[in-house]
Structure 1
Amino acid sequence: MSTSLVYFVIGSLIVLLIGIAAYFLTARKYQSSATVANSYDLWTLDGILEFYWGEHIHLGHYGSPPRRKDFLAAKSDFVHEMVKWGGLDKLPPGTTVLDVGCGIGGSSRILARDYGFAVTGITISPQQVKRAQELTPDGLNVQFAVDDAMALSFPDASFDVVWSIEAGPHMPDKAVFARELMRVLKPGGILVVADWNQRDDRQKPLNFWEKPVMRQLLDQWSHPAFSSIEGFSELLTATGLVEGEVITADWTQETLPSWLDSIWQGIARPEGLVRFGLSGFVKSVREVPTLLLMRLAFGTGLCRFGMFRAVRTNSRTELMDRNFAKETPSSSVR
């Protein structure tokens, strides 16, 4: 083996080791809502995520069975498929919608433009609100605000529809999140949620390789925990505000191509390297291991893409009982 080749191999191994060390040492672990807000502020300010993922910072829908599709078109299609699945296409113009975890407003704009809904988008990131406002044309019935999904600032029974895509993994207390989503729905209103979920480990515990993979999926993107489809459905029911049953579906196969497609964008659109320079290239490459781990997790059943639909009970009795229980000393509750 020539000396130059030896130096090349050694140099490559050093770079690889430095890259691996940097990946683990610079993890964006969840500490509080502030760390989530800060992560999204930074991703919004540098513009890289928007350049490659477009205005929809969520996965795409590739059909059932999945077929080849443009990455950005699949994301837009996801919104329309979610509308149909949730039965929202049957609602009249002017229906009030709260988009929880709206990102830079891609879904909110579609809901307002294509369905005539009056949409309020909320996110914990001030920079996302600013960018969402910049991208929204005048005359569209959409407004954006900074708000915390763990303690929504809206009164009880404020919206006809509550909508949320891939926000749940950032919530530290899934029961509180479920309660807030249902609380702000009007009686008879519809909740539609799409989320990344973990396999229900009460039925099948995580094994030796799944635990470290899940740890990285949590730590790299400021996630405190993933719920399971079964677990979150139970939490929604436990609010006492659901009419009938929570409807669920598994869209893992429909969304699975998104993970590799997102990596392919960096190859298919090399102009990003010119636009964002070396630092942008490093930032983009840094996300590849997490994207590959996501593909592994969803492809092997460790993770599932869950859909949830619930209707707020028409009766206000449950909410009155809950408020009474909260305000009454436990010693006097029978």
Structure 2
Amino acid sequence: MIVPDISQDAVAVADHYDELDPIYRRVWGEHVHHGLWGTGRETPGEAVEALVDTVGDRLGLKPGQACVDIGCGYGSTARRLAVTRGVSVTGFTLSGEQSHYAAAHPVPGVDIQVRDWLDNGLPDASADAAWAIESSEHMVDKPRFFAAAHRVLAPGGRFVICVWLAETDAGGWKVRHLLEPICREGRLPSMGTREEYEAMAMAAGFEISGYEDVSRRVARTWPICARRLVKALFVDPEMRRLALRARNRVFVLSIPRLILAYRTGAMRYGIFTLTKAGEDGTQIGPNASAEAD
């Protein structure tokens, strides 16, 4: 597990997203996650929605199901899946700014709460499906993150996690100059490997129903962000002020690191599909497991 040399907590995560809210929405929009390119001809907007749709497909969502979005950001994923799949969604974010945006864009069946997932207050076995798109990285206690999801899911429930992963056995300059600074600058308490995530998931009681490495299909997110940010800094005084004076301005330095981390293989992007055992102890979930670079 990669751990930054300055510890991060939920308060730091909330402050990061609250303060940098204008930058996130100006540079990337209302989805706070990577895009997923298939043909390479998709627009960034189409690519971020493709990742959401992939999560919905992996979950096998059906109309009427109760779902949980862990680290829901602006609620855009919750809204899209509620509308396209007919599900209800309870979303959790640490950011008040993200919650305000979600409240200004309501969709029936979507409830966004400002609350730490590690203290979510949901009843046992109350959700049919759950997802976490690039939020587990911000969890201080990752085993508790998995345990909470297992508790909240009903028997047979599915859990999809899209996650930034450290290269297995990464060392030397990759840790010192890429992975540790990315954790520190992005307010990540830690970054795990595929093997560490699988071990924590199984310890919580999940079966690993599928895993796919989509690093090459998401990596172009960061060059696009870099170009947009540079352009915005030239034309927008407020963006320049935030980039130069904000408490969390150091995150700007992570963009070139992220580009290099993907190009060198120091960082990977994985999609896990997990399943909670059914009432009879059997596992219900997707059968296929894909491996791709």
Q: Same fold (TM over 0.5)?
A: yes
Aligned residue runs from structure 1 range 301-316, under 5 A = 301-315=265-279
Supply the distance in 2 between the matched residues of 1:189 and 1:174 (Cα, whole angstroms): 20
Q: Looking at both structures, which has the greater relative contact order when contacts are Cα pairs under 8 Å and sequence separation is at least 6?
A: 2
Partner secondary structure for residue 162 of structure 1: strand
Supply the distance in 2 between the matched residues of 1:43 and 1:29 (Cα, whole angstroms): 20
1:34 aligns with 2:20: no
Instruction: Give the direction of change, closer, same or farther, for the CA distance of 1:113–1:315 in structure 2 (3 Å limit).
Output: same
Supply the distance in 2 between the matched residues of 1:273 and 1:282 (Cα, whole angstroms): 15
Unaligned segments of structure 1, at least 5 residues: 1-26, 319-334
**Cα deviation, residue 301, structure 1:** 1.4
Supply the distance in 2 between the matched residues of 1:134 and 1:224 (Cα, whole angstroms): 30
Unaligned segments of structure 2, at least 5 residues: 283-293
Partner secondary structure for residue 248 of structure 1: strand
**Cα deviation, residue 143, structure 1:** 0.7
Aligned residue runs from structure 1 range 212-227, under 5 A = 212-227=177-192
Whether the 8 Å CA contact 1:29–1:223 is kept in 2: the answer is no
Identity value in percent: 27
| Corresponding residue to 1:100 among 61, 70, 95 | 70
Q: CA RMSD in A?
A: 2.5
**Cα deviation, residue 287, structure 1:** 4.2
| Corresponding residue to 2:215 among 226, 240, 252 | 252
Task: Name the counterpart of 2:31.
Answer: 56
Task: Name the counterpart of 2:290.
Answer: none
State the aligned residue count: 277
Instruction: Give the direction of change, closer, same or farther, for the CA distance of 1:37–1:238 in structure 2 (3 Å limit).
Output: same
Supply the distance in 2 between the matched residues of 1:229 and 1:246 (Cα, whole angstroms): 14
Which structure features the higher share of helix residues? 1
Task: Name the counterpart of 1:130.
Answer: 100
**Cα deviation, residue 277, structure 1:** 5.5
**What per-residue deviation string (whole Å, max 9, x for no partner) do you get for residues 128-175 of structure 1?**
2121111225xx211110121223211211100011100111112221
The aligned amino acid for 2:215 is: T
Whether the 8 Å CA contact 2:129–2:157 is kept in 1: the answer is yes
The worse-fitting range, judged by mean Cα deviation, of 187-196 and 91-100 is 91-100
Supply the distance in 2 between the matched residues of 1:270 and 1:124 (Cα, whole angstroms): 26
Aligned residue runs from structure 1 range 163-312, under 5 A = 163-201=131-169, 205-240=170-205, 242=206, 244-267=207-230, 270=232, 273-274=235-236, 276=238, 278-280=240-242, 282=244, 287-312=251-276
Instruction: Give the direction of change, closer, same or farther, for the CA distance of 1:316–1:153 in structure 2 (3 Å limit).
Output: farther
**TM-score between the two structures when normalised by the length of structure 2:** 0.86
Whether the 8 Å CA contact 2:55–2:131 is kept in 1: the answer is no
Task: Name the counterpart of 2:120.
Answer: 152
Supply the distance in 2 between the matched residues of 1:156 and 1:313 (Cα, whole angstroms): 14
**Cα deviation, residue 248, structure 1:** 1.2
**TM-score between the two structures when normalised by the length of structure 1:** 0.76
Whether the 8 Å CA contact 1:237–1:246 is kept in 2: the answer is no
**Cα deviation, residue 81, structure 1:** 2.1
**Cα deviation, residue 28, structure 1:** 11
Instruction: Give the direction of change, closer, same or farther, for the CA distance of 1:317–1:82 in structure 2 (3 Å limit).
Output: closer
Structure 1 runs of 4+ with >6 Å offset: none
Partner secondary structure for residue 162 of structure 2: strand
Whether the 8 Å CA contact 1:29–1:220 is kept in 2: the answer is no
Supply the distance in 2 between the matched residues of 1:74 and 1:94 (Cα, whole angstroms): 26
Supply the distance in 2 between the matched residues of 1:271 and 1:136 (Cα, whole angstroms): 31
The aligned amino acid for 2:213 is: D
Supply the distance in 1 between the matched residues of 2:251 and 2:147 (Cα, whole angstroms): 33
| Corresponding residue to 2:42 among 66, 69, 88 | 69
